[in-house]
Structure 1
Amino acid sequence: MAKHKTPLLDELESGPWPSFVSDVKQEAEVRAKNEKGVEYQIPVEVCDDLLGVLELSYADGETHWKHGGIVGVFGYGGGVIGRYCDQPEMFPGVAHFHTVRVAQPTAKYYTTEFLNKIIDIWDMRGSGLTNMHGSTGDIVFLGTTTPQLEEIFFELTHNADVDLGGSGSNLRTPAACLGMSRCEYACYDAQALCYDMTMEFQDELHRPAFPYKFKFKFDACPNSCVCALARSDFSVVGIWKDEIRIDQEAVAAYVGGEFKPNAGAHSGRDWGAFDIQKEVVDLCPGKCIKYADGKLEINDKECMHCMHCINTMPRALMIGNDRGASILCGAKAPILDGPQLSSLLVPFIKVEEPFDEVKEVVENIWDWWMEEGKNRERLGETMRRMGFQKLLEVTGIKADPRHVQEPRHNPYIFWKAEDVDGPWERDVNEYRKRHQR
C-alpha cells in the first residue's frame, strides 16, 4: 500500500502516454515485496518518499530539493550531482537522493550482460530508478545516499568496467550516432572518433577546469541523429565534397510509382501519387535541383547537404565518395544568452585516425576559452562576446566565404585586406555574384 496519498501525481497517469509516476509506483511495490531478496543499502521507502515529496512540491508550487554541498568520489570532480530534501523528517527515504551519471558506450550499444550488471548494482545501492538516457547522453542513476557513492563507483569500475560520466564545469560525456555500424550515409567513423576523444580527454571529463560545461557530439552524416548542431559546443558533422550520385533509372521508378518515396515511411500522412517537383525540387533549400525531360540534375556547388532529396529517394540518390566532416562550434541551450546553433569553423576535414587534426582544433579552442571565458559562460557566448574573427585567429583557420551567412548583411566576419588578396578575392566575388538578389 502506498505510504503517501498523491492525488495530483495520479492525474499524470490519466493521459494516453506512459507516465513516470506509474514507473516509480511500480518500483516502490517491487522494493516493498523484495521477492528477489536484494540487500537494499538505502531506505526501502525511497520510491514512496520520492512520490510524496513531489506531491508536496506540486501542492506548494515550489521545489523541496536543495543543494546541500558538494558530494562525489575520491579523485573525481564530476559524475555525481548532490541532491538533498529540505523535509528529511517527513520524507526520510529521500533525505539524500544523489544522482550518479554513468558513461554510456559509444552509440549506446549494450549487451544484456552489461545492463544486468549495472542494474544489479543500482538495485542494491540505489533507488532502482534510472533515466536511459539523460539529455547529455549518460546513463542516469536517480537517487542514492552519500555513504553508497564510493561503493557504487568501485563496483561500476571493477565489476562492470564502466566509468562515471561528466557533470559540472568540465567536458561532458561525448556522444555519437550509430555511424558506420548501421548507417549507409556515414561519412566518417563517428564511433571511433567518439571513443578516441573520450579516452584522450579523461582528465577534462573528471576534473572540472573550464569556465562552464563543454560538450562533444559526433554526427556521421548531415541527418544529425544526435543533433550535434544544436546541442554541443563542438560538433563534428559528416559531409562529402564531391557530387551526389544519381541513378536515373531509380529516379524514373520513383516518378512512375514503382518505388515508394521516403523509404516507404508514411510520415504521418498519405503521400498519394509521388510528385517529384513538389516533394523534391521545390523543397530544396539551395534551389539546386532540376527535373526536366525525365532527368534529374543537381548543381552540387549550390547544394546545402540537407539530405532531403536523398532521404526522399534513397534508392535513386546517394552521398558522394569524397567524405570527411565539418566542425562547428558554439551551440547551447537558453541559459545566459538564449539558445544558439553552432557556427561553421572548419568547412571540411578528413577524419582519420589518430584524429590529430581534430584534437588540435579542440585544444586551441580550450586554451583560448579557459583564458577569456567568464564564469558559467559557454563557448558560444564567449564567441558572441569576443567575435567569431577571434576564434578564427586562435585556431589558426583562415577566413572563408562559407563562414558568412549572407554577404554584406552579416557583420560576423571582418575582412582584412590581406585575407582577400589573390584567389581569396576571386572566391568572395564569385560567392557574392551567385547570391546577389
Structure 2
Amino acid sequence: MAKHDTPLLDELEKGPWPSFVTDIKRQAEKNPDCWDILGQVELSYKDKITHWKHGGIVGVFGYGGGIVGRYSDVPAQFPGVEHFHTVRVNQPASKYYSTENLRALMALWDKHGSGMTNMHGSTGDIILLGCRTEALEPFFYDLTHEMGQDLGGSGSNLRTPANCLGQSRCEWACYDTEEACHHLTMHYQDEIHRPAFPYKFKFKFSGCANDCVAALARSDFAVIGTWRDNIRIDQAAVKEYIAGNIASNGGAHSGKDWGAFDIQKEVINLCPTECMWMEGDELKIDDSECTRCMHCINVMPRALRPGAEQGASICMGAKAPILDGAQFATLIIPFIKVSADNEFENVIEIIENVWDWWMEVGKNRERVGETMQRVGLPTFIKVMGLDPIPQHVKEPRSNPYVFWDEEEVEGGFERDVDEFRARHAA
C-alpha cells in the first residue's frame, strides 16, 4: 500500500499529547494496510462524513456476537480497509495478564489482522481492530484452540461481564468480584454469543462504592459491594489523623501540600447525609443515615473500615446516551449476600426476572433502564416482586410536605388568622 498525504491528521501529531496518528504510522511500517486507514480517516475529515458503510453482517460459525462488521464505502481507493472488522475478545477477570499471554495474543493478531488494538473497550473487551472476512475463522480457531480464550459480546446480547480487582488486591472489596464475574460469564455463554434481547445488556461487578469499573454509570445490572452493619472505627487512629501523624487519603496529594488535616472540613462537612460529628476527641457516626459512599473511609483508611456484614447493592438501568440520554442506575435492592457458596443463585434469580420482563415489554434498541423509565419505577418494582422501601425514592431526605403535631392544630388556624390580622392592622 502506498502512503497517503494526510495534512489534517498530521495536525493531530503536534502538541504534547500522544497521538493515535503516530501509533498507526508506526504500525503501518509493519502492516501496509494501515496506510489505508490513515488515508480513509483523512478523507472523512475532509468530507465531514464517515466512510465506513452500513450493512453487511459478519461473524464466526455458531456465534451471533463478538465481531463488529466494518466495510469501507471507498474500497477501490483504499483496498487495505475494504474489510476492516473489529474483533472483541473476552478479557481476563480484573484484566490480569501475563506477558506470555499478551505476547501470544499480539502475535496471533499480527498473523491474522492489522496488528492495531484498543485496550480496552468501555465494557472491558480486548478490542482488535482490522480483520478481513476470510481471516476471521482462522483467527477464531487459533484464539480458542491454542490460547483458550473466547470472543466477547456484541449486538443485542449480554455484553462481556467486567469486574474490578476485588479481593485479589483491594482491602475495601465487600465480595469476591472475580468469582462473581467468572461464574456468570460461564453461566451465560449462550446469552453472550447469541443475541436475543431487545438491545445490549451489561453486567459490572464493583467491590465497593468507589466503583472502579463505573458500574453505576455504564451497566444495566450493577453489583456494588456494601455492608449492612456499622462502619468500624479505630478511635486511636482517628486521633493520629487529627494530630497529623498519619497522612490523609493514604498520602496521595498529587505532590501538593494542602496543609494540616482538618477532619471537620475534609470529612464531616463533606458527608452527603451529615451523619458524622465529633464528641470531644471521638468520631461519631449515625450509621442509620450512612449511604456507604466511602468518602470518609477513603480519607482516613487506617481509622475507618467497612462493616463486617458484607454483601452488595443491586442497581439497574444505567447507560450512556442512546435514546433518552445518559442516566445513572437506580437502586433496586439495597443489600444482598453475594457468595459462590450458593453459586450466586440469588443474583441469577434477579437477573432472569429482569430479562423475562424486559424481553416481553422492551422495545427494539431500548435498554432496560429506558424501559424502566417508560413504565415507571413503581411498575418495575411490582414486576420484580419487591416491596417498596425508602431507598427507592430518588431523594429520601428531601420532603415536600409539612408535618405538625396534633396539639399544634387545635385552635392553631384561628390563632394564626388573628395574629395575621393584628400585624397588618398595625
Q: TM-score, normalised by structure 2?
A: 0.91
The aligned amino acid for 1:278 is K
Q: Secondary structure at the match of 2:261?
A: coil
* 1:224-254 CA distance string (max 9 Å, x none): 0001000000000000011111111111111
Change (3 A) 1:395 1:268: farther
The aligned amino acid for 2:25 is K
The aligned amino acid for 2:182 is Y
Gaps of 5+ in 1: 32-43, 412-437
Q: 2:14 maps to which residue?
A: 14
Which one of 212, 220, 228 corresponds to residue 199 of structure 2?
212
Separation in structure 2 between the aligned mates of residue 278 and residue 407 of structure 1, nearest angstrom: 25
The aligned amino acid for 1:324 is G
Deviation at 1:98, TM superposition (A): 0.3
Q: 1:308 maps to which residue?
A: 295
Change (3 A) 1:277 1:337: same
Q: State the superposition RMSD in angstroms.
A: 1.5
1:216–1:235 CA contact under 8 A, matched in 2: yes
The aligned amino acid for 1:359 is I
Which one of 208, 215, 225 corresponds to residue 238 of structure 1?
225
Matches within 5 A, 1:178-327: 178-267=165-254, 269-327=256-314
1:103–1:138 CA contact under 8 A, matched in 2: yes
Deviation at 1:89, TM superposition (A): 1.1
Q: Secondary structure at the match of 1:75?
A: coil
Separation in structure 1 between the aligned mates of residue 395 and residue 181 of structure 2, nearest angstrom: 33
Q: 1:152 maps to which residue?
A: 139
Q: 2:353 maps to which residue?
A: 364
Deviation at 1:389, TM superposition (A): 2.0
The aligned amino acid for 1:19 is S
Q: 1:373 maps to which residue?
A: 362
The aligned amino acid for 2:139 is I
2:372 matches 1:383 = yes
Q: 1:344 maps to which residue?
A: 331
Separation in structure 2 between the aligned mates of residue 135 and residue 408 of structure 1, nearest angstrom: 34
Larger Rg: 2
* 1:319-355 CA distance string (max 9 Å, x none): 1100000101000111101111101111110101210
* 1:171-218 CA distance string (max 9 Å, x none): 000000000000001100000000000011111100000000000000
Q: 1:429 maps to which residue?
A: none
Deviation at 1:64, TM superposition (A): 0.8
Separation in structure 1 between the aligned mates of residue 395 and residue 86 of structure 2, nearest angstrom: 45
Q: 2:418 maps to which residue?
A: none
2:134 matches 1:128 = no
Change (3 A) 1:318 1:64: same
Q: Secondary structure at the match of 1:301?
A: coil
Separation in structure 1 between the aligned mates of residue 3 and residue 143 of structure 2, nearest angstrom: 32
Q: Secondary structure at the match of 2:204?
A: strand
Q: Secondary structure at the match of 1:239?
A: strand
Separation in structure 1 between the aligned mates of residue 38 and residue 191 of structure 2, nearest angstrom: 36
Q: Secondary structure at the match of 1:300?
A: coil
1:404–1:410 CA contact under 8 A, matched in 2: no
Separation in structure 2 between the aligned mates of residue 87 and residue 122 of structure 1, nearest angstrom: 25
Q: Secondary structure at the match of 1:367?
A: helix
The aligned amino acid for 1:104 is Q
The aligned amino acid for 1:369 is W
Deviation at 1:293, TM superposition (A): 1.6
Change (3 A) 1:273 1:409: closer
* 1:362-405 CA distance string (max 9 Å, x none): 00100000000000000001001111122222222211111112
Separation in structure 1 between the aligned mates of residue 163 and residue 279 of structure 2, nearest angstrom: 40
2:73 matches 1:100 = no
Aligned residues: 398
**Which deviates the most, 180-189 or 380-389?**
380-389
Q: 1:417 maps to which residue?
A: none
Which one of 38, 47, 52 corresponds to residue 60 of structure 1?
47
Q: Secondary structure at the match of 1:326?
A: strand
Q: Secondary structure at the match of 1:237?
A: strand
Q: 1:24 maps to which residue?
A: 24
Deviation at 1:410, TM superposition (A): 9.1
Q: Secondary structure at the match of 2:331?
A: strand
Q: TM-score, normalised by structure 1?
A: 0.89
Calculate percent identity across the aligned residue pairs: 64
Q: 1:168 maps to which residue?
A: 155
Q: Secondary structure at the match of 1:282?
A: helix
1:373–1:382 CA contact under 8 A, matched in 2: yes
